[in-house]
Every structure is written in C-alpha cells, then in structure tokens.
C-alpha cells in the first residue's frame, strides 16, 4: 500500500507546526493538547483507511466487451468484507475513474456499472486497478493496487456501409438474394406447379389440388447467398491510427455482408489463418478477434500474402483492406485480377494519390466511412 497526505492533510500539518511553535513561545499546554488531538486524527485516518482497503473486494464480470467510445453497462460487484464501514472510496484504472463511493457499510455488496469509456480499440488487462481511501477525516490517502482477473476488449466502432460485392451465389434457405429459378422452399410465394417425385408433402397447395387437376405444390422465389472474402493488413505502415481505421472499415463491411446473408471468409496477416463465418452470425467472435489484432509493422509482403490468397475459396470475391500498396503486392493482386478473380482494394483516404493505375476496383477508407 502507498500513503500520502491530502491537500487538507498538508494544511492541517502546517497548522500543527504553527501550534507547536506557538506553544513553545507562550508556554501553553492547551496548544500542545490541540497538537496531540490533530495528530491522533492523522493516526485514526491512517488506520481506518488502511483497514477499509484491506477488506475491499472487486469482482468484475468474466467478459467485458464494448465498442470504441461506448460507456460500459455491465455491473461490477464491490464488496466490503470488514466489520466496519469503508468510506471515501475511489477506484480507478488506466488513469480513468471507475467508481466513487462516499460510504460502503460493513458487509455490504454494491453492484454498479463503472464510469468507464475507452476511446481506443485494443485489449486492456485488469492488472492495475487502484483503490484509494481517505476515510474518515480526509487527511491521509491510502492507495492499494489490485490485480484482477480478466480483461476489457474494446472493439472497433462500426458504421453503416453499403453491402460489399459478393460472388459465387449458392442456394440457401433464408438467403436475401433472388435467383432466376423457383424452388419448393422459401418465403416469397411465386406460384404453383404439379407435384413431382421428391417434393415435400408439406408444400402441397391444397386449395388448388382440390380443383381435381391433381396435387399441386407451392413454388417460391429461389433464395441465394453469396461469398465474400476479406484480407486485413495488420499495420504494415506502423501507424496505429491507420490500422484502427482499416479495422473499422473491414468490420463494417463484414457485418454488412453477414446481414445481407453472405458467407464471409477473412484472413488477418497477424495470424495467417482463414476464418469462415456463416450468414446471419451475430459476429461476436469476429468483433473480439478484431479487438485483439496487434500492430505489426512490415507485415505486408508478397511472400506472405500470396499463399494466404490461395486459401480463399475460388467462389469468393476478394476484398483487400490494406494500409499501403507496395509494388510487390501490386504484382500479386494484378495477377489475380488477370486470372479472373474479382478483387476490390481499399486504401487509406490519405493515400488516394498513391495508386494511379489498378485494373481492379479501388476504394478508400477514412475514420468516418468508405469513399470511392
């Protein structure tokens, strides 16, 4: 534990010194008594504040996930396990105040969401939570550092964007895209036809079948789902702001693709493994993965990205969210375009003059969104 005098404590200490010298000059025992009383208050403050912090227990939730700039809403438990009240408690982390309590009764448990708002994406371990008490007189501040289990994941802030281009459409019940054919399953009614071997009995259209022309089954608009793949540059330029902007853009597009009923494949250059997300997934694992991506300067090389691009399904359109477009990468991407792959390149808005010729589609991203 750490100890320090508060501003009020320093003022009182100065008063003690003045009273002591005044008692020496006046030979008054009453002034010395006042000095003793004030010193006793310092001692009581030190003992009670230390005891309050020793019995204080903090229990955060097991999973703490929030977006950039969002205030935490998940409640924490603060427990006073001593037989005496704990007062003037302030709990902070990463230079931000979490809680402030004027008084916690003996044995009391408080469930409350912290006053915490983290503006930058990343992982924040709960290793250095600082508790301070000045109870009961505000003369001495006793501080205790606590290492709690768990961490806070701050995910990229997503924004509304157009559905990214997809390809390789397949039939899928619930798909949001309509095909040219009809099927016996779906949600949009398209007509009827005579029953055929293999048609499900539950799709028989009984009102039409009752007209004496044989059994008829219902037809629906064919539902299709596309495929889109995303390759994420994890900070080749070495600028964290650019990486965060890239991850916001990539996350926003991937969620837009999932909401549109597409299959999503994605690769981060920090790991080099392919992840597949089915349509309509809630995307929680994706958000947590984006929050954990570290800054890796110099990760974007032709030797690294070429084998990763071969992991992507041939049906997928490819979206490259990069922080730079060096010549070696340009050659790899141009080769894929020439081989008939649909490639869309995304670069920082500040680098809009860096690419003068690219045979695929080129877009730019910025903190506020995407632009052509």
Give the start-to-end residue ranges of the domains of the chain: 2-155, 177-224, 225-371
- The CA-based angle 281-284-94, given to 5 degrees, is 165
Q: Residue 324 is inside which H or E element, if any? A: none
CB count in 10 Å sphere of residue 160: 8
Report whether 319 contacts 230 (CB < 8 A).
Answer: yes
For the whole model, what pTM was predicted?
Answer: 0.79
Inter-CA distances, 119 with 142, 156, 354, Å: 29, 10, 30
Give me the pLDDT at residue 153, please.
Answer: 94
Report the DSSP beta bridge partners of residue 223.
Answer: 178
Q: Indicate whether 184 pLDDT > 80.
A: no
Q: Which residue has the tokens 């007509």?
A: 191
**HSE value, Cβ hemisphere, 13 Å, CA-based, for 334:** 11
What's the first-to-final CA gap in the chain, in angstroms?
56
Per cent of the chain over pLDDT 90 is 51
Report the DSSP beta bridge partners of residue 299.
Answer: none
Report whether 258 contacts 225 (CB < 8 A).
Answer: no
pLDDT band with cut points at 50, 70 and 90 for residue 63: confident
pLDDT tens track for 317-370: 999 999 998 888 989 999 999 988 999 999 998 765 556 677 888 888 888 888
| Mean pLDDT (the chain, rounded) | 87
Give me the pLDDT at residue 260, please.
Answer: 86
Written as six digits, the tokens of 301 are 């090389």
Nearest to 232 by CA among 152, 278, 283, 286: 286
How large is the average pLDDT for residues 8-20?
A: 89
Least confident of 26-40, 80-94, 153-167: 26-40
Give me the pLDDT at residue 25, please.
Answer: 80
What DSSP designation does 360 have? S
Give me the pLDDT at residue 185, please.
Answer: 67
pLDDT winner (highest mean) among 33-37, 297-301, 368-372: 297-301
- Per the model's pLDDT, the better-predicted residue between 307 and 220 turns out to be 307
CA 73 – CA 59 distance, rounded (Å): 15
Q: Residue 258 is inside which H or E element, if any? A: helix 240-259
Q: Indicate whether 281 pLDDT > 80.
A: yes
Q: Indicate whether 223 pLDDT > 90.
A: no
Give me the pLDDT at residue 176, please.
Answer: 58
Give me the pLDDT at residue 279, please.
Answer: 86
CB count in 10 Å sphere of residue 371: 10
CATH number for the domain running over 225-371? 3.40.50
What is the full DSSP assignment across 144-205? EEE--S-EEEEEPPP---PPPP-EEEEE-TT-SEEEEEEESSSSSEEEEEE--TT--GGGB-
Give me the pLDDT at residue 362, please.
Answer: 87
């Amino acid at each position: 534990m750490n100890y320090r005098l508060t501003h009020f404590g320093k003022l009182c200490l100065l008063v003690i010194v003045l009273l002591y010298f005044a008692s020496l000059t006046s030979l008054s025992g009453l002034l010395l008594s006042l000095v003793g009383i004030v010193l006793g208050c310092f001692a009581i403050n030190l003992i009670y504040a230390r005891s309050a912090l020793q019995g204080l227990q903090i229990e955060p939730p097991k999973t703490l996930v929030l977006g950039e700039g969002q205030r935490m809403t998940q409640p924490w438990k603060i427990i006073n396990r001593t037989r005496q009240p704990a007062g003037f408690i302030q709990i902070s982390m990463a230079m931000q105040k979490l809680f402030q309590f004027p008084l916690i009764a003996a044995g009391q448990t408080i469930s409350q969401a912290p006053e915490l708002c983290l503006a930058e994406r990343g992982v924040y371990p709960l290793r250095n939570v600082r508790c301070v008490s000045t109870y009961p007189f505000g003369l001495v501040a006793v501080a205790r550092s606590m290492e709690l289990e768990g961490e806070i994941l701050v995910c990229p802030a997503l924004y509304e964007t157009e559905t990214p281009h997809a390809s390789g459409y397949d039939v899928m019940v619930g798909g949001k895209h309509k095909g040219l054919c009809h099927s016996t399953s779906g949600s949009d009614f398209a007509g009827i036809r005579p029953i055929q071997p293999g048609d499900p009995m539950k799709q028989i259209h009984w009102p039409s079948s009752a007209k004496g022309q044989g059994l008829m089954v219902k037809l629906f608009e064919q539902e299709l789902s596309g495929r889109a793949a995303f390759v994420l540059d994890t900070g080749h330029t070495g600028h964290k702001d650019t990486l965060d902007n890239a991850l916001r853009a990539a996350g926003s597009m991937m969620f837009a693709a999932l909401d549109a009923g597409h299959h999503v494949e994605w690769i981060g250059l920090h790991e080099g493994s392919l992840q597949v997300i089915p349509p309509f997934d809630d995307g929680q694992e994706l958000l947590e993965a984006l929050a954990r991506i570290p800054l890796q300067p110099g990760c974007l090389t032709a030797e690294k990205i070429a084998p990763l691009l071969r992991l992507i399904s041939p049906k997928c359109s490819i979206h490259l969210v990069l922080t730079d477009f060096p010549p070696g990468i340009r050659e790899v991407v141009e080769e894929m375009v020439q081989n008939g792959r649909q490639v869309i390149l995304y670069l920082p808005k500040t680098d809009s003059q860096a690419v003068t010729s690219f045979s695929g589609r080129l877009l730019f991203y910025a903190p506020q969104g995407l632009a052509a």
